[in-house]
Amino acid sequence: MSQKNEYEFMDVGELSTGIKVNTGKYEGMLWEYGKITPNEKDEMLQLNFTYTIHENPNEISEDQELFDYMGNILTEIMKLELEVKNDD
């Protein structure tokens, strides 16, 4: 999904890290994920999550397309984390 440098991790306070998008339709958006809950549905793992948007310079509406985009990034991050842990 993601191209190199499409997004980066960014501090959003002393104790939180968010995602800042560097390219495309959502460029400049900064959000942090809140509670993330895995849910098995029809033998597929689905991630339910909350989020807080900190920056939205292009005033993108919070619709299903944005939610899916955030979910795709979250899924990508979790897959990368699992790969790192499996390499240990």
Q: What is the DSSP letter of 2?
A: P
Q: In which element (H, E) is residue 33 found?
A: strand 30-41
Residue 84 in this model has a pLDDT that exceeds 80: no
Predicted local confidence at residue 88, as pLDDT: 62
Q: By CB neighbour count within 10 A (0-12 exposed, 13-18 middle, 19+ buried), where does 7 fall?
A: buried
Question: Residue ranges of the domains in the chain?
Answer: 7-87
pLDDT, tens only, 2-22: 556 899 999 998 899 999 999
In this prediction the pTM is 0.85
State the distance between the two ends of the chain, measured CA to CA, in whole angstroms.
25
Residue 63 has pLDDT above 90, yes or no: yes
pLDDT averaged over the chain? 90
Burial of 44: CB neighbours in 10 Å, binned 0-12, 13-18, 19+? exposed
